[in-house]
Amino acid sequence: MVQEFYEKLRSKITEALEYAKTKCDYADLLYEASHRAILTRELPEKIDMTPYTYSVGVHMRLVNNNGQNIELSVTNPDNLKGAIDKAAALLKLQPEGEFRLAPIEPTEGHYSTNAKVDLRTVNMTKVMARVAEQLEQIARAKEKEHLGTEIKTDVVVASAIDQKIIADTDGMFKTQELPRSSLYCYYKTKRNGAITNNMESTSVTEDISHYVDENGTLNAATKAMFETACEASVQLHNARTMTGNDTRELDHVIVHSSVIGTFMHEAIGHPFEADIVRDGSSAFWSKDGKPKQDVIAPPFVNVVDGNVQGKHGSEYIDDEGNEPQKKYLIKNGKLNGMIHSRETAARYGKKPNGGAFSQLGSSRIPRMNCTYLEPADGSMTKESLHELLKDVKKGVILYRMTGGTVAKENMNVTAAYGHYVENGKVTGYLKPATISMDTKKALFDIDAFAGKISVDGIGHCGKEGQRKPVSDGGPEFTRFKKTEHINLTVQA
């Protein structure tokens, strides 16, 4: 069935490109289709199930060697010829320009992850309802464990198959098919009239069987993840706050991978997207592609964007047909490179590195995949959190980003909860806290890491009206010296 789908579309796409070639010097085409099923459960008696939806978008570029270019989008491949005629007429009216696309090899290939549970052939209603029920049961078990506590949940279970085809008039024809599965649970906990909340989410480029066995039972790792989140929402009733004087006495701030990942994505990743650089909006690069400052972190710090197999933001090929490379944005503390599309790669004299993405027929622009902090070597990595905390007299550990804002040189990240550290030991829970960082200086305050790299932070990054699945992360724990570059405010 899948092979027939691609063969049928190939004839339509080839015909459209051959026709476009009579109107311009070069054309390429991106076809995207998304199959989705989603269940939301706000209360045990309120369940909304959408068993199947299907969306399509097609994006084409017509380019002339004199720098003229035009884009077109349709939702039905059968309408391409008429859209090409209209675009070609407008293309002729353009003055000569500087638009160029960096060359790529016109190869063919099919990239895919097979789905054991395929929503195109399996009714997902029972499977997803069973998962949602088990996430709900975690809250009911915690209520029995903590008498006098009421826990309400909002649950989302989602499954998808995303398909795309990239082809051009030089003979490239590549296809990709990826399953996606996501779980989300928001916990609202009430005790003695006071309310706390926490949430957990996870998403992978695999089908729903990543989380459940053949009987639909949550596997141990997934269940433990949501149990930890639910327990934290309960423990926040006993959490302490901190005054301004308390925060000034801190000597270290330690952040979990779920917090450092957001910092890497927002404060570092976006300013390294080459169209942001081109438009003069990057805090780190000038419009001509030269670093504003060479060194922005200690020599033991790397920041990377690329693929991490199976993670929410990973893809085999970008939307121009290039395999995403491991891109060192920062290497050994120095600015190293940007995230490129073919257009920005041509502008800056670089090779495309697999960073161009679209959303169902929108323009292809530089985007992140999986962005994470990476220790450049093992010199500053401790064996465990225990070792990392040994020389911390007063500190905090912050977990799970719940929101944040980023400006050109500053960023605020709100953590759902934390732990207070005294004389190297965790002494209790901390209420939600907001950490503010100077994005051009705070990385210099990193002095140690602990744990393996985790790239499990997930989101749908918004840019120019498009949304793209992304992942972020870093070592399980990253330790910052508490300096004037970092401020902390804890919920009263």
Q: Which residue has the tokens 């920005």?
A: 344
Buried b (16+ CB within 10 A) or exposed e, 146-182: beebebbbbbbbbbbbbbbbbbbbeebbbbbbbbbbb
- Is residue 155 predicted with pLDDT exceeding 80? yes
Cβ–Cβ < 8 Å for 57, 75: yes
**Stretch 96-114: mean pLDDT, rounded?**
95
Confidence band, pLDDT 50/70/90 cuts, at residue 44: low
Residues 6+ apart with CB under 8 A from 114: none
- Is residue 8 predicted with pLDDT exceeding 90? no
Answer with the one of 223, 238, 253 that is the final residue of a domain. Answer: 238
Predicted pLDDT at 409: 75
Length of the chain counted residue by residue: 492
Strand partners, 177: 112, 163
pLDDT, tens digit, 9 for 90 and up, residues 187-217:
999 999 999 999 999 999 999 999 999 889 9
Confidence band, pLDDT 50/70/90 cuts, at residue 404: confident
Same domain, 310 and 459: yes
Predicted pLDDT at 280: 95
DSSP 320: T
What stretch of H or E contains 80? helix 80-92
First to last CA, the chain: 58
**Stretch 328-333: mean pLDDT, rounded?**
98
Q: What is the pTM of this model?
A: 0.95
Same domain, 255 and 215: no
Same domain, 52 and 92: yes
- Is residue 1 predicted with pLDDT exceeding 60? no
**Stretch 325-347: mean pLDDT, rounded?**
98
Buried b (16+ CB within 10 A) or exposed e, 384-402: ebeebbeebeebbbbbbbb
Which tokens is 349 given?
A: 């004299």
In 3D, which of 226, 165, 176, 174 has the Cα closest to residue 205? 176
| Rounded (5°) CA angle 486-460-303 | 45
In 3D, which of 315, 306, 316, 319 has the Cα closest to residue 356? 319
Same domain, 252 and 395: yes
Same domain, 320 and 200: no
Same domain, 193 and 83: yes
Answer with the one of 177, 206, 238 that is the final residue of a domain. Answer: 238
Q: Read out DSSP for 237-265?
A: GG-B---HHHHHT--EEEEEHHHHHHHII
Which tokens is 72 given?
A: 């077109």
For the CA atoms of 164, 329, 275, 406, the dihedral, rounded to the nearest 10 degrees, stands at: 100
Same domain, 197 and 261: no
Confidence band, pLDDT 50/70/90 cuts, at residue 448: very high
- Is residue 3 predicted with pLDDT exceeding 80? no
Cβ–Cβ < 8 Å for 460, 468: yes
Q: Read out DSSP for 338-392?
A: -B--HHHHHHTT----S-EE-STTSPPEE--SEEEEEESSSTTEESSHHHHHTT-
In 3D, which of 279, 1, 253, 22 has the Cα closest to residue 115? 1
Cβ–Cβ < 8 Å for 250, 243: no
pLDDT, tens digit, 9 for 90 and up, residues 75-104:
999 999 999 999 999 999 999 999 999 999
Predicted pLDDT at 48: 92
CA distance 92 to 356: 26
CA distance 291 to 216: 52
In 3D, which of 406, 122, 433, 139 has the Cα closest to residue 283? 406
Which tokens is 191 given?
A: 């005790």
**Number of separate domains in the chain:** 2
Confidence band, pLDDT 50/70/90 cuts, at residue 316: very high
Same domain, 47 and 147: yes
Cβ–Cβ < 8 Å for 390, 424: yes
Neighbour tally for 2: CB within 10 Å? 15
Domain that includes residue 409, residue range = 244-490
Confidence band, pLDDT 50/70/90 cuts, at residue 14: very high
Question: Please, what is the average pLDDT of the chain?
Answer: 95
At 400 the three-state DSSP class reads: strand
Same domain, 231 and 326: no
Confidence band, pLDDT 50/70/90 cuts, at residue 410: confident
CATH number at residue 219: 3.30.2290.10
What stretch of H or E contains 309? none
Same domain, 172 and 255: no
Same domain, 28 and 45: yes
Between 39-53, 338-352, 473-487, the lowest mean confidence (pLDDT) is in 39-53
% of the chain exceeding 90 in pLDDT: 90
CA 199 from chain centre, in angstroms, equals: 17
Confidence band, pLDDT 50/70/90 cuts, at residue 281: very high
Answer with the one of 214, 238, 262 that is the final residue of a domain. Answer: 238
What stretch of H or E contains 281? none
Same domain, 234 and 250: no
Predicted pLDDT at 411: 86
- Is residue 162 predicted with pLDDT exceeding 70? yes
